[in-house]
Structure 1
Amino acid sequence: MSIETLQAEVNRLRLQLETLQAKNASEPIEIGNYLLARLAQLKVTKMFGVPGDFNLSFLDLVEDHPTVDWVGNCNELNSAYAADGYARVKEDSIGVVLTTFGVGELSAINGVAGAFSEIVPVLHVVGVPSTEQQSSKALLHHTLGDGRYDAYIKAAENFTISQGIITDKDTAAAHIDRVLADCMTRARPVYLTLPTNLVYEKISSERLKIPLSRAQPPNDPEVEAFVLDEVEKLVQGAEDSVIFLVDACAIRHDARQEVIELVKKTGFPVYVAPMGKTVVPENYERYGGIYMGSVSHPDVKEKVESAKLILSIGSIKSDFNTGNFTYSIPTARTVEFHSDHTKVQHGVFPAVGMKQILPRLTARLGPAARKLEVPAFRAILPTENSDTITHAWLWPRLSKFFQPKDVVVGETGTSNFGLLEVPFPEGAVFVSQLLWGSIGWAVGSTLGAAFAAREIGMNRTMLFIGDGSLQLTVQELSVMLRHGLRPIVFVLNNAGYTIERCIRGPNRKYNDISNWNWTGLLSVLGDAELAVSQSHTVHTKAELSALLDTPSFGDTSKMQLVEVMMQMHDAPRALMFQTEMGAKSNPYNDAI
């Protein structure tokens, strides 16, 4: 057992003892400030949300707090998206969204559900009516008018991994600590209610002396030893015909460094699933690119599927992540490492998590003979006669614009699939929502990602989004301007919902949208004098290349918005392949 894991267990037991003893010797603290103190310990510096009458008393404490800043969003949905993006980039912390009772929390629930789906740690704090009002079932505004004060809690139970319903001051601290620990260790959203009459109630601060930990429970040592023996035998039997396939849960469950150390020590080729892009540095010599079943490039598909042993780490086997379930890696040739179990061929071993077993596997395995060749993952500009900006040309060209430690956010649709096919430089981070796929998510996520990037010393933040998706959540660009963030926003103007056109109805009007004056947007949203922003429209490859090569464009001295004019029915190769397979599996397809 590692020192970190042992200390986490000691602290967990100490907190349980504190709950039983209910010490009151320490300096009293308001319940609201207790929560803020815990968030500060977890390195949270930004809280997203919208003010409402049931959270205003807590907001006074937030605004007065020395390190936790209130951001303030245009709506609750966007605030949940922002908390999601913040947590993805600031991997050792969590995202926090604050809403009011009923109307506010229901507006945020889509964003919270997306974080649940994609395994992102987000705390949803809800300011609720007083305990007396709840007990008497008062006919308050924001209620359903029938006295059901638990209706929203029941809704939240479906989209959060843990709920803390504070009803008295004696158990408030224990509720707060429990949901925060669940949020970190299980990497999913949690829900916490804060009644108006309890925000300023004072409780003991003794528990704050015991830090919360994101460390996973210790593996069963005997089972872990058996699993290590079995994996080592399989690796030896495969005679170095072994590859790694890494996915998003390696990030979500804090195993990125363990993965990189294992990959680099052994030298086995490494590939990633789409949701796992940038888990492994893409300039690493043994990195081969993205594997997504039949959608993969042929050389990647052949290398992965011909390996005698696949060591899969943190996999999420969703449709878009697996090329519409076209993985061809038999269970008999696969070992799967997950956060809370390991699967060796057909055998499942609970309570053997990857965070602890991977370093021990690294110690066991020596460098490989490197018999397997790794296809070069490069961005190659195609030779095209036209100066029209195509997806085949756009993404390789943009990859040359990327710099180390950039944060790149891709929207559901053409942007996500285009960015998957080009390499990122050292330390760059890709942020996407491939499983939940809520269009418009990327704008709010960019807000949170940009804050996190600034805090942890990353480079530029970039957003790639279609004109249709941007119309859903465009207001958050104003929040970015207000807080001095300087992202680079690429708006792909292809006259509507291209991903939907690829799926069905390429010429149907339900996939059309109104065309906006995109280059006038930032002046409307807060920069009337254009003092801190610039906007551009590019129609040709030459115009876009000239802009990308202009030093002042990429130096983040101003927020940049680029309208990229593209053809309506053009799309990245991977997206067209994926949607074609998906359309064939839909029962309505034969009615087209």
Structure 2
Amino acid sequence: MSTAAVAQLQAEVNRLRHELSTVKAHEQSPESGEQIFVGQYLVERLVQLGVTKMFGVPGDFNLGFLDFVEDHPKIDWVGNCNELNAAYAADGYARVKETSLGVVLTTFGVGELSAINGIAGAFSEHVPVLHIVGVPSTSQQKNKPMLHHTLGDGRFDAYYRAAEQVTISAASLESKDTAAAQIDRILTDCLVMARPVYLMLPTDLAYERIPSYRLKTPINSNPPDNDPDVEQFALDEIVKLVQEADEDVIILADACAIRHGVKQEIAELVKRTGFPVYAAPMGKTAVDESYERYGGIYVGSISHPDIKEKVESAKLILSIGALKSDFNTGNFTYHIPASRTIELHSDHIRVQFAMFPGIGMKRLLPKLTTRLQPFHEGAKQISVPPFVFPVPQEDNDIISQSWLWPRMGQFFRPKDIIVAETGTSSFGVLEVPFPRGAVFVSQILWGSIGWTVGSTLGAALAGVDLGYKRTILFIGDGSLQLTVQELSVMMRSGVKPIIFVLNNKGYTIERYLHGMERKYNDISNWKWTQLLDTLGGQEGKNCLSYLVRNKSELSTLLDDPTFAAADKIQLVEMLMDPRDAPNALKRQAELSGKTNRYVAELPSGVGEAV
């Protein structure tokens, strides 16, 4: 049976178990006959799951439901400037609030289609987001009048079909009798599978009354149980391979270790076994980067030579939560054969060439830790080069990429949320060791430029809930122009991120991929230090803006305790060379350029303008 088929079967088993639990609870307390609106039921479920913020844009088909949101004392409505930014914000919120989910509310058609890029990114990167869509009434959907926001051809399910491509589960509520069960089903799928789900909420159904007794049975977000016999066999095989490797084993953590909630299990595994541990770019901060046995970021052929040698020479690699995309693997240059690899995933594991569908890492890891603990003495003899990134001594005062990122490393503190935009920022910050408890937020697989602005809003709001100290965003001038409006929502919401704008006059990552001197990679130069004031702030009161031209000015600012305290939203424009980029980005761009083969496809004699 395929992994997808096993996952579908497990989801159905989970649903049936939940239904059985609700029936038993109702039988034990039949007096709980309180009635509740369907819309209220949905809000109460979200509050139970720890959701404190809902993002989105009001529209005529969701306004009635919004009353339930605004009237609830434990959830806040965060109105965004557009639906795409709202989806980005829900994504960022879910990434930081790892035990909960992000929620975005849009209206039918025009609103939901604007959000779909953000939902697709969450699907791509395994982020649990609920997309609620206020839709026409059940009678209108049945009779199919030519309503506004429709395509004018009677297809009221067209957007539902589009959403199915980028969600793990979807529901179109059609009856009050099944509404609560449908809501519970998609919320369970969202949390267990860590991917977006979609809910159509008709205007009339939001105000239908239903019994509230189901709320007494919590949503079960735990993964399904593993088959004990298969799990035991797999554990035996893994232990046998570790023995054959003479304990020369490394652990490689990746994105799904974070998304599927096994950071604590990994921490226990690395502590009790002593095996060296590394991370892929999307797995940065899956492991405490101050841990003495942590060796840094492995990105295939573009890794630091010491890291590359240690990972690729190990006799056995225990890979946890891998997402083997191009930018996450150095353009697929992992030199790790399957014969030396054990892969643990949320819904299956692979031991060399053998696949075990339905055996999830969440339940397997504690047992694996117990079985591997006896190898600790041998494992700790394996050396791990220190993960450091010293600030280089350069004979100029230009803010270079090689100087900027290690210097920023000195600015970071424990419990910082550090958000890096696709491009120079996400590549530059990879090699910087983060302090204990810091969280890295980036979108390396989907790579939608401008994503970090909305995501920073969501991440910062989640950070307030969880006690994080600061949220810090690194973004290029080109990316910021796509989604800059959300800076106004940050100020209205009271969050106080520090925003470093790398002003390098356009799309530097694109320049390195293709067209270094082409005009299509240029942008308009905005008056960046006037943005916060323009978008609703009061410069000097609730926001501050800075322009730094060189290393000295930037270092002075970073060393300023008032600036570092982050008690206001702050924007720092840094003037940088358009042709400068982190070394990792240059190497990745060279590999991607060969894959794209733009130059090879040009007619003879045709080249770039000079």
Instruction: Using structure 2 for the length normalisation, give the TM-score.
Output: 0.94
Q: Report the alpha carbon displacement of residue 454 of structure 1 after superposing the two structures with TM.
A: 0.5
- Partners of 2:141 and 2:543 in 1: CA distance: 48
Q: Secondary structure of 2:177's match?
A: coil
1:205-216 to 2 correspondence within 5 Å?
Answer: 205-216=212-223
Q: Following TM superposition, by how much is the alpha carbon of 1:213 offset from its aligned partner in structure 2, in angstroms?
A: 1.6
Alignment partner, residue 294 of structure 1: 301
**Aligned counterpart for 2:187 among listed residues 180, 186, 194:** 180
> Displacement, 1:129?
0.3
Residue 516 of structure 1 pairs with residue 526 of structure 2: yes
Show the counterpart of 1:5: none
Q: Which amino acid aligns with 1:541?
A: K
The CA deviation at 1:26 is: 2.1
2:229 to 222, 233, 239: 222
Is 1:466 the equivalent of 2:472? no
- CA contact 2:302–2:587 (8 Å) conserved in 1: yes
Q: Assess if the C-alpha contact under 8 Å between 2:249 and 2:275 holds in 1.
A: yes
Deviation digits for residues 229-284 of structure 1 (CA, Å, limit 9, x no counterpart): 11111111111210001101011111110011001111110000000000000000
1:565 aligns with one of 566, 572, 575: 575
Question: Which is worse superposed, 119-128 or 192-201?
Answer: 192-201
C-alpha distance in 2, partners of 1:347/1:484? 51
Alignment deviations for residues 35-74 of structure 1 (CA, whole Å, 9 cap, x no partner) = 0010001000000000000000000111001101100000
- Separation (CA, whole Å) in 1 of partners of 2:377 and 2:453: 43
Matching residue of 1:38: 45
Deviations 1:504-557 (A, max 9, x none): 001100000000000000000111354111000101101000000000001021
Aligned residue runs from structure 1 range 419-430, under 5 A: 419-430=429-440
> Which residue of structure 1 lines up, in the alignment, with residue 401 of structure 2?
391
The amino acid across from 2:443 in the alignment is Q
Q: Secondary structure at the match of 1:311?
A: strand
- Pairs within 5 Å for 1:148-187: 148-187=155-194
Distance, in Å, in 2 between the alignment partners of 1:373 and 1:17 is 51
Query: Match of 2:422?
Result: 412
Note if contact 1:30-1:200 (Cα within 8 Å) is conserved in structure 2: yes
Match of 1:232, SS state, is helix
For residue 200 of structure 1, report the CA deviation from its aligned partner: 1.2
Query: Counterparts of 2:377 and 2:343 in 1: how far apart (Å)?
Result: 20
Match of 2:457 in 1: 447
Match of 2:145 among 126, 138, 141: 138
One-letter code of the match for 1:467? D
SS in 2 for 1:356: helix
Secondary structure of 2:462's aligned partner:
helix
Secondary structure in structure 2 of the residue aligned to 1:319: coil
Q: Give secondary structure in 2 for the equivalent of 1:537.
A: strand
Contact 2:532/2:539 (8 A) holds in 1: no
Larger CA deviation: 22-31 vs 274-283: 22-31
CA distance in 1 between partners of 2:91 and 2:512 (Å): 28
Q: What is the alpha-carbon distance in structure 1 between the residues aligned to residue 526 and residue 454 of structure 2?
A: 20
Closer, same or farther in 2 for the Cα pair 1:234/1:21, shift >3 Å? closer
| 1:189 matches 2:208 | no
Q: 2:208 aligns with which of 193, 201, 204?
A: 201
Amino acid at match of 2:552: A
1:388 maps to a residue whose letter is I
Task: Select 1:15's aligned residue among 19, 28, 39.
Answer: 19
Map of 1:589 onto structure 2? 599
Asked if residue 498 in structure 1 is aligned to residue 508 in structure 2, the reply is yes
Note the residue ranges of structure 2 that are not aligned, 5 or more in a row: 1-11
User: Do 1:242 and 1:310's aligned partners in 2 also have CA atoms closer than 8 Å?
Assistant: yes
Any conservation in 1 of the 2:25–2:217 contact (CA below 8 Å)? no
2:414 and 2:435 in contact (8 A); partners too:
yes
Write the letter of the residue equivalent to 1:330.
Answer: P
Aligned residues: 586
Return the alpha-carbon distance in structure 2 between the equivalents of residues 472 and 184 of structure 1. 30
Q: Is 1:550–2:557 an aligned residue pair? A: no
Q: CA RMSD in A?
A: 1.6
Distance (whole Å) between structure 2 residues aligned to residue 316 and residue 328 of structure 1: 15
Structure 1 counterpart SS, 2:529: helix
Per-residue CA deviations over 1:149-171 (Å, capped at 9, x if unaligned) read 01000000001100011011011
CA–CA distance in structure 2, aligned partners of residues 507 and 287 of structure 1: 40
Match among 80, 87, 95 for residue 102 of structure 2: 95
Partner of 1:353: 360
Matched residue, 1:488: 498
Aligned partner of 1:4 in structure 2 is: none
C-alpha change, 1:200 and 1:19, in structure 2 (3 Å) is: farther
Cα shift readout 1:182-219 (whole Å, capped 9, x = no counterpart): 00000000000110011111001111110002110000
CA separation in 1, counterparts of 2:150 and 2:187? 27
Q: How does 1:224-263 map to 2 (within 5 A)?
A: 224-263=231-270
> Letter of the aligned partner of 1:386 in structure 2?
N
Q: Retained in 1: the 8 A contact 2:170–2:198?
A: yes
State the alpha-carbon separation in 2 of the partners of residues 483 and 445 from structure 1.
14
Once residues 19 and 82 of structure 1 are traced to their aligned partners in structure 2, the CA distance between those partners, rounded to angstroms, is 36
Shift of 1:386: 1.1
Deviations 1:2-50 (A, max 9, x none): xxxxxx9899524246479998852010000000010001000000000
Aligned-pair CA distance for 1:350: 1.0
8 Å Cα contact 2:397-2:550 kept in structure 1: yes
Cα distance in 1 between the residues matched to 2:548 and 2:363: 50
Q: How far apart, CA to CA, are the structure 2 residues paired with 1:497 and 1:14?
A: 49
Q: In 1, Cα distance between the equivalents of 2:228 and 2:377?
A: 27
The answer as to whether partners of 2:26 and 2:214 remain within 8 angstroms in 1 is: no
- Establish whether residue 437 from structure 1 lines up as the match of residue 447 from structure 2: yes
1:342 to 334, 337, 349: 349
**1:277-312: CA deviations, max 9, x gaps?**
000000000000000100101110000000000000
Report the CA distance shift for 1:399/1:42 in structure 2 as closer, same or farther (over 3 A).
same
- For the 8 Å contact 1:241–1:371, the answer to whether it is kept is no
For 2:553 and 2:532, locate their aligned partners in 1 and report how far apart those are by CA, in whole Å.
21
- State the identity as a percent: 65
**Aligned equivalent of 2:125:** 118
Distance of 1:21 and 1:167 partners within structure 2: 25
Distance 1:89 1:29 in 2: 31
What CA distance in whole angstroms lies between the structure 2 residues aligned with 1:12 and 1:143? Answer: 36
Q: Deviations over 1:437-457 (max 9, x none)?
A: 000000000000000001011
CA deviations over 1:413-448 (Å, ceiling 9, x no partner): 000000101100000000000000000000000000
Deviation at 1:488, TM superposition (A): 0.2
Distance of 1:14 and 1:417 partners within structure 2: 43
- For 2:513, the aligned partner's letter is I
Unaligned regions of 5+ residues in structure 1, if any?
A: 1-7
Whole-Å separation in 2 of the counterparts to 1:321 and 1:12: 38
